[in-house]
Structure 1
Amino acid sequence: MVRDFSLFTSPGMGPTPDGDPHAAVACAHDAPSIFYSPNNTRDGRGTWVITRAKDQRRVLHDTATFSSHRSIFASALGENWPMIPLELDPPAHGIFRSLLNPLLSPKRVMVLEPAIRERAIVLIDGISAASTSCDVMTDFAFPFAVNIFLRFLGLPDERLDTFVGWGKDLLHGEGVKRTAAARTIVAFIDDLAAVRRKEPTDDFMTFIVEAKVDGRSLTDEEVRGIGVLVFVAGLDTVATAIGFDLAYLARNPKDQQLLRREPDRIGLAAEELLRAYSTVQMIRVAKKDIDFEGAPIRKGDYISCATMIANRDPAEFENPNTIDLAREDNRHTAFAYGPHRCLGSHLARREIVIGLEEWLSRIPDFRIKEDTAPITYGGHVFGIENLILDWS
């Protein structure tokens, strides 16, 4: 049941020019439905790898057996506090989830939508006025997606590049660079919380420092755990999703033309692209010894539920490695599953759809610029960069 596999170091995980890490991980379905990988974490720790979507859903739903508390961020600092609510188990998880849900509800996202669309239009019109090509990650995807989150957090746009740099070092850097980024982010969140306690405004951090759970104020550690999670979550994932989507459409002109002719299809297409280009690996920790589908999982073992593997499951999706923009009943787990399903999924979906709508309506037929190649890479969060699009 042991297999040499890693989302960090296996072939195709990069950084690779013109690579396809999603196709590379699809080969996991050629193995047993669950196997042990000796080095499937950043620090080389082994995990059990769950390949079938139905088994991943079972793990992610069973919070009594599989814990979310692993301090993946804090451990980089030699500390042991949870990102909240991501790394909390019930009942504490439900208390904090109820506190935060209204901030990112569908109703709240509807209020934000005009600002989201305006931001996309301003960026794209600026790009098209200046040139017939661009580095779409640097010029559009990050400034678009991260700006929306910074507004939500009440942070200034002028530091966007700095914040994105911290996120890249944290999620994709190694060793000293990753640790330094983690320390910088923690210090920033702690300082921001201190400022908002003294000078409250109408923003997310003010809400958190003034919030109460069970009739008490949040501790400094709880404020930090929430702030770090929301800050880090907004720096990479939505921008990366938009990048993979535009890279696909650049390479597949027929599908690009389909969405131009029939923009009403973009919402459905975005779901298929979320399935095909999922980017996040969830880790759980076994609370007790358990025999799981024949695997002797022991208390303390790590279990990997990688969305990019589950969403290429042939038992779940017909022709899973074929991208079908008209695919119906798309039960993908790009935003995870169960009680820890992504808090920001409603906002992320609207950002992706609006970004694609405005790009396709304002930029002529585009392709990957000749003599350039996007760089892709695996890891806890998959990524893409150097995506140079051309419409000359």
Structure 2
Amino acid sequence: MTADERFGDYEEMRDGRVEGTRNEVVTGPVSDWATDFSHLEPEWAADPYPIQDELRGRCPVAHTERFGGGWLPTRYEDVAEIAYDTERFSSRSVVMSNFRPPPGAAPIGVTPPISSDPPFHHDARKLLLPAFKKSAVTKLEPATRAFCHALIDSFEGRDVVDAAHDYGQHIPIRVIADMLGFPPEDGPRFREFVETTLEGINLPPDERIARMDKLFAYLHEQIRDHVDHPRDDLTTYLINAELYGRKLDPSHVSGTMALLLIAGIDTTWSAIGASLWHLARTPADRERLVAEPGLLPTAMEEFLRVFAPVTMARLVRDDMTWRGVDMKADDWILLSFPAANRDPAQFDRAGEIAIDREVNRHAAFGLGIHRCLGSHLARMELRVALEVWLERIPSFTLEDPSAVTWAAGQVRGPRTLPVRIG
């Protein structure tokens, strides 16, 4: 079967992706975080933790009328309960924005399996497990390590580098591009797709959809090329995969590729950047890890806990009262795993960064059926990135703390991180 016969025109593939409920976004300063929260405001991007801590004590389930209405639980037990409750909360959209896919989008969603509800979710996730198991990830480590060394080689002659833009952000782009069989030179386009999906949610709905169309049009090009020129990569695997005795629907293929491209990049580069930011401003921890490299896996888990990059969204299925608040059908829920990870009811010395913390059952990779499929891959990339950096650049400091910028939205990590090396 040709690409045209199997996948048709891109315009046909997008038809079911643009219908839904759209709400204008209310922007501007927050009047009260308990009743008017917004994860897009500058103070949230710069340092959300004091806000989350204050809410946890004063109003553990905050509310906002922005984005058509939503809720923000900040206690670990509340976040966990929602994450495990697939009966009352739907995953058909995991990015809180001014656009809600229609209820009919469930159980598959736009980007399966993360946008899928049971029972479809189980089968869609199972398709991807072989590519992300530990043995498969281990095979990717040598190339990842070599690429990290090459990036640092490019720093020669420089005293100041951007540890986020010049290092951390390149690593998952290369790894995911290789896994999907995409041209590595398309990396700059991937950055644009990430920003559109995760940071462009304040755009007018029509403009946001137009930008998303660029992502799916690109994926359609890659699919057609892989149909015509099959090779041993994840894209070809998805094209040939079967579910319930038939090939995957074209929108399933492109949606899963979009998930891997977006979720596999920004989350990991954010974790790498946040870890390097902490080490650049904390000489004692940096020096200890250089002297005790065997401590790095333990330190990594603490970095993941305290700087958990990901907040996921859910949609309320039906009107109900939950934890004393009246939720309406299609209200958003922001599952703040970063807030859960700093809940003193769950973690001893929750606000401290202890790189030798031994008991650390954090929620950085999520909870419930949607726990991150790529956690082995993310851990490998983070470990290798830090190992190579600390081996090659054991001494580094922030060049200008005020020049560090953080992404707004549901994936938080440094976007610019100038450090002085050597």
With normalisation by structure 1, the TM-score equals 0.91
1:131 correspondence with 2:158 = yes
Residue number in structure 1 paired with 2:125: 97
Maintained 8 Å contact 2:316/2:327: yes
Structure 1 residues 370 and 383: CA distance shift in structure 2, 3 A: closer
AA partner of residue 245 (structure 2): G
Hey, what does 1:265 align to over in structure 2?
295
- Is structure 2 residue 51 aligned with structure 1 residue 20? no
For the 8 Å contact 2:279–2:286, the answer to whether it is kept is yes
Are residue 37 (structure 1) and residue 64 (structure 2) matched? yes
Match of 1:106 in 2: 134
Match of 2:237 among 207, 210, 214: 207
Partner of 2:25: none
Q: How is 1:1-392 mapped onto 2 (pairs within 5 angstroms)?
A: 3-9=35-41, 12-14=43-45, 19-39=46-66, 44-70=67-93, 72=95, 81-127=109-155, 129-173=156-200, 174-175=202-203, 178-370=208-400, 373-392=403-422
Distance apart, 1:390 and its partner CA: 0.3
Q: 1:160 to 1:76 in 2, by over 3 A?
A: farther
Report the residue type matching 1:65 in the other structure.
R
Q: Give the letter aligned to residue 40 of structure 2.
A: F
The answer on whether the counterparts of 1:167 and 1:181 sit within 8 Å (CA) in structure 2 is no
Deviation at 1:66, TM superposition (A): 1.2
What displacement does 1:83 show?
Answer: 0.8
CA distance 1:321–1:66, change in 2 (3 Å):
same
> How many residues matched?
382
Q: Which is further off, 292-301 or 225-234?
A: 292-301
Q: Name the structure, 1 or 2, with higher relative contact order (CA <8 Å, separation 6+).
A: 1
Alpha carbons of structure 1 residues 154 and 77: separation in structure 2 relative to 1, 3 Å: farther
Cα distance change, pair 186–94 in 1 and its aligned pair in 2 (3 A): same
Query: What is aligned with 2:26?
Result: none
- Measured against aligned partners, the alpha-carbon deviations of 1:283-308 in whole angstroms (never above 9, x if no partner) come to 11222333322222233322221111
CA distance in 2 between counterparts of 1:317 and 1:371 reads: 28
Gaps of 5+ in 1: none
The residue identity in structure 2 corresponding to 1:346 is H
Q: 1:249 to 1:206 in 2, by over 3 A?
A: same
CA contact (8 A) 2:52 2:74 kept: no
Q: Tell me how far apart the structure 1 counterparts of residues 210 and 299 of structure 2 sit (CA, whole Å).
A: 38
> 2:342 corresponds to which letter in structure 1?
R
- The list of structure 1 runs, each at least 4 consecutive aligned residues, that deviate by more than 4 angstroms after superposition, is 71-81
Cα distance in 2 for residues equivalent to 1:277 and 1:58: 22
Partners in 2 of 1:58 and 1:78 — Cα distance? Answer: 24
Counterpart CA distance in 2 for 1:72 and 1:204 is: 24
Q: 1:375 & 1:24 partners in 2: Cα distance?
A: 18
Q: How far apart in 2 are the matches of 1:77 and 1:282?
A: 14
**1:233-285 CA-partner distances (Å, limit 9, x unpaired):** 12311111111111111110001001011011111111111111112221112
Residues 284 and 370 of structure 1, relative CA distance in 2, 3 Å threshold: closer
TM-score by length of 2: 0.85
State the identity as a percent. Answer: 33
Give the aligned CA root-mean-square deviation in angstroms. Answer: 2.2
How far apart, CA to CA, are the structure 2 residues paired with 1:338 and 1:375?
31
Question: In structure 1, how many angstroms separate the alpha carbons of the residues matched to 2:51 and 2:78?
Answer: 21
